[in-house]
Copies of this chain bind each other. A is one copy, B any other.
Amino acid sequence: MQYGEGGNAFGNGSYSFSNPVFASLAGYSSMALLKMLGMSTYTMIQRFCTGNFPTPEDDIYKKLMNKLGLSSSIIGNKNDKVERARNNHLNDLENIIPFVLIGLFYVGTRPKFDRALWHFQIFLISRILHTIAYQVFFLCYFVFV
């Protein structure tokens, strides 16, 4: 591969949306980051489902839920489902952020468009599958083993 020539005909401006590699990095990175930000909402949902809140201020929600008859107040400092969601969020931070940053430098090396697209797509799909496996299909372990 000829460095700086192989990828595309854009001599200047590898960091602009006229460069398809940068545009696809922007798209896939944003999707991965959106997925990561979605983990906050997922953690919130898990907290409400299990009645597990981190701070004493949140007791107001417990009272609300008790009034509504949703007495899901298994009071305990650590809940397995909530911790699972939080660990997933941290794992996303540890993997998606370096991907975006290294991706930015990778675009600068002017890679071939097809090859770059492959990397971005495989990364995004693997992150989504990781989340599904970690949050949903771990149950299969208890069913089949």
Contacts and interface: CB of A to CB of B under 8 A. Distances in A.
Interface of A: 4, 12-17, 22, 26, 29-30, 33, 36-37, 40, 54-57, 60, 84, 87, 89-90, 93-95, 97-98, 100-102, 104-105, 108-109, 138, 141-142, 145
11 contacts: A4-B17, A12-B12, A16-B108, A26-B108, A29-B105, A33-B101, A36-B94, A56-B142, A89-B94, A97-B97, A97-B101
Contacts of A57: 138, 141
A18 to B, nearest CB: 9
A99 to B, nearest CB: 9
Number of copies of chain A assembled together: 3
Please classify the interface of chain A as helix (H, G, I), strand (E, B), loop, or mixed, using the class held by over half of its residues.
Answer: helix
A142 B58 CA distance: 11
Nearest to A36: B98
